Amino acid sequence: MSAVPEFTSQNFDEAVAQGVTLIDFWAEWCGPCKMIAPMIDELSAEYDGKVKVGKINIDNEPDLAVRFNVNSIPTLLIIRDGEEAKRFIGVTSKSDIAAALDGAAE
């Protein structure tokens, strides 16, 4: 079980309003989502205090998936001060995500 918190429609806007946030759009039935889950957990630990990390289950939060035009999963968004800064679709390397987080956090 992941230590990364789930974002919902109720807490999303407040969670991403300030600073840098990494969002993992996923679903329980998605094999590639399960493949990257440990990496998301690692990034959450490594960027603790610098970047917020959260997951959005598209089956539970379809409105957020529609809002961000998520058509395939996994989709990772980096949001800076409430605005999308970077998007990754599909399995992405940890180093690519870390580089994007470093750039957004500057």
Question: One of 15, 22, 30, 77 is an active-site residue; which one?
Answer: 30
Catalytic residue chosen out of the listed positions 4, 16, 20, 33: 33
Token readout for 24 is 């993992």
Is 78 noted as a catalytic residue in this protein? no
Structure tokens at 32: 């590639």
Residues 6+ apart with CB under 8 A from 91: 32, 35, 36, 74
Q: Is 45 designated active site?
A: no
Please say whether the beta carbons of 55 and 2 come within 8 A: yes
Q: Which of 28, 29, 43 is nearest to 88 (CA)?
A: 43
Catalytic residue set: 30, 33
